[in-house]
Amino acid sequence: MSCWALVALKQPASAKGRLAETLATTARSQLVAQMFADVLKALRSTRQIAGIAVVTADELAAAELVRIDDPGLGLNAALAHGAQALHARGVDELLILHADLPLASAAEIDALIDAGRAHGLAIAPDKSGLGTNALYLPLPAPFAFRFGPDSLRLHLAEAAALQRPIARIESAGLGFDIDEPQDLQHLLATAGARYDFLRAALPGA
């Protein structure tokens, strides 16, 4: 079996709009780029991932990444389009991973894939327990993506409607996404010098 990762990447200038009052556009763009680099590093260090595809409207610098054009109809449509494109390439397992998981580790990703292979589906909640930060599924699969508000409950309901067992994997790295200013403080405290550029924008950092 061949498991590929699929990451949706917004244009840096429009990403992380909820942080606009805390970070200027340039700092937000730098944050998005660094988090994406961290996610790619984790994926490249896994045992299970055979390839990485990115659905985006931007160009990509890394030659080994497969770029899939974002049709511009929202996140779920972009991911569904990406999944179809990868299945057409012969991919039979998919890991959807958000691009704003700077603390995600290769070991956590491998554990999620292992759980998905054992159960059929696997999901990693966000730190609030309401959203979905990672999702494993085989391809093709009649699974409707429900990323957005309350997506964990909606994805679990989708699995139940399909009568498909799903493993729920709680992990610190996969659970930590960047949405609010306080997340940036935690990131500075745990991620090391590569995020030091945030200090000038955060009072007391």
Instruction: State how far the Cα of 68 lies from the Cα of 83, in Å rounded to an integer.
Output: 10
Neighbours of 118 (CB within 10 A): 10
42-89 per-position pLDDT tens digit: 999 999 999 999 999 988 867 789 999 999 999 999 999 999 999 999
Q: Which two tokens stand for residue 69?
A: 């054009």
Is this model's pTM higher than 0.75 or not?
yes
* Percent of the chain at pLDDT exceeding 90: 71
Q: Please answer whether residues 169 and 112 qualify as being in contact, where contact means their C-beta atoms are separated by less than 8 angstroms.
A: yes
Mean pLDDT taken over the chain = 91
User: What's the pLDDT score for residue 203?
Assistant: 60
Any idea where the domains of the chain sit in the sequence?
A: 3-197
User: Which are the contacts of 10, defined by CB distance < 8 A and separation ≥ 6?
Assistant: 32, 56, 99
Q: What are the phi and psi torsion angles at 94 (to 5°)?
A: -130, 135
Quickly name the fold that domain 3-197 has.
Spore Coat Polysaccharide Biosynthesis Protein SpsA; Chain A (3.90.550)
Q: What are the phi and psi torsion angles at 197 (to 5°)?
A: -65, -15
